[in-house]
Structure 1
Amino acid sequence: MLYHVTMDVKIPQDLPAAERADILAREKAYSQDLQRQGKWRHIWRVAGHYANVSIFDVRDNAELHEILSALPLFPFMEIKVTPMLRHPSAIREDDS
């Protein structure tokens, strides 16, 4: 199942630099692993914001929730999820 997910990141300014660096490194490794697995299909940065727009391809709501809540930056995120399904007028068969 495909999901359109927006993530706005709001890291506290007073978070110690070492802790911030550790969280960001773990976030990058985790997200890249999910991309390699095909679960995090697309990720785009939102210009001018510490935010991204992503497409996830996972089994169901429960798997998406498990993935998102395991993000190291999760405590500092505002997340909006929109389930998606194939449009009947779509011509590409490889993007369902």
Structure 2
Amino acid sequence: MLYLVRMDVNIPHDLPAEQAQEIKAREKAYSQDLQRDGRWQHIWRVAGEYANYSVFDVESNDELHGLLQALPLFPYMKISVTPLAQHPSAIAQN
């Protein structure tokens, strides 16, 4: 199942810089592992914002929820999820 996910990040200004950097490093490693295994298919930065749009390919809503909840930045995110379906005018991918 494909999902379009928007993630808006809001790290508190009073979070110590060293702690914020450590969380960001863990976030990067985790997200890149998911990209390598194919579950996090695309990630695009939203220009001018601390936000991204991503496409996930996972088996279920529960799997997606688990992946998102495990993001190190999850406590500092507002996340919106849109399930995607094949469009009848799209050229099918092989």
1:35 matched to which residue of 2? Answer: 35
Structure 1 vs Structure 2 CA RMSD: 0.6
1:22 matched to which residue of 2? Answer: 22
Shift of 1:93: 2.0
2:88 matched to which residue of 1? Answer: 88
Q: Which TM-score applies when normalising by structure 2?
A: 0.98
- Are positions 1:7 and 2:7 aligned together? yes
The structure 1 segments of at least 4 consecutive aligned residues displaced by more than 2 Å after TM superposition are none
Shift of 1:48: 0.3
Partner amino acid for 1:93?
Answer: Q
Q: How many residues align?
A: 94
Q: 2:72 & 2:92 partners in 1: Cα distance?
A: 35
Identity %: 67
SS of structure 1 residue aligned to 2:32:
helix
Partner amino acid for 1:86?
Answer: Q
Q: 2:63 & 2:38 partners in 1: Cα distance?
A: 13
Q: 2:44 & 2:74 partners in 1: Cα distance?
A: 17
Q: 1:58 & 1:93 partners in 2: Cα distance?
A: 17
Q: 2:67 & 2:78 partners in 1: Cα distance?
A: 15
Q: Which TM-score applies when normalising by structure 1?
A: 0.96
Q: 1:10 & 1:4 partners in 2: Cα distance?
A: 20
SS of structure 2 residue aligned to 1:11:
coil
SS of structure 1 residue aligned to 2:80:
strand
2:50 matched to which residue of 1? Answer: 50
Partner amino acid for 2:75?
Answer: P
SS of structure 2 residue aligned to 1:8:
strand
